Amino acid sequence: MNLIPIGYVRRNEGASRHEPVNIVIDKDYSEGLRGLEEFSHLFIIYYMHLSSLKSLTRECNGKNIGIFSTRSPNRPNPIGISVVELLNIKENTLTVKGINAYNGTPVLDIKPYDDWDSINNPKIPSWYRSCQKYF
């Protein structure tokens, strides 16, 4: 398997996930952005390059949780995905809000968010929200 980054995240130091962030796409792939400006939200798929897997389980409030039940970046294949709001596209730079990735994070792909991906009232376990800070 050979994944090639198409760009990277450019984020100011200390910016929260609710502040605008730039995604800079390699100019070789900029034609692929055509039509994207018509969508309000996107999936950004990225490689969590700073992660390291230490264990397949985590402890949270006395409950043993498997890594695949978390959003932890420390996984066997550290692939991240965020649904972002698209604010602007200028040349090969997307300005988005809502990505949970560090400055310099390699971007692997972009996909439009559409009604196919929308789920009303998903089931989320009661322990999940209180344990997110541990993951």
The structural domains of the chain, ordered by start, are 7-49+75-114 (2.40.30.70)
pLDDT in tens, the chain (135 residues): 899 999 999 998 877 778 999 999 999 999 999 999 999 999 999 999 998 888 898 888 888 889 898 888 888 999 999 999 999 999 999 999 999 899 999 999 999 999 888 888 889 888 887 776 655
- Long-range Cβ contacts of 22-30 (<8 Å, 24+ apart): 22/93, 22/94, 22/95, 22/96, 23/93, 23/94, 23/95, 23/96, 23/99, 23/107, 23/110, 24/92, 24/93, 25/92, 25/93, 25/94, 25/107, 25/110, 26/92, 27/92, 29/92, 30/91, 30/92
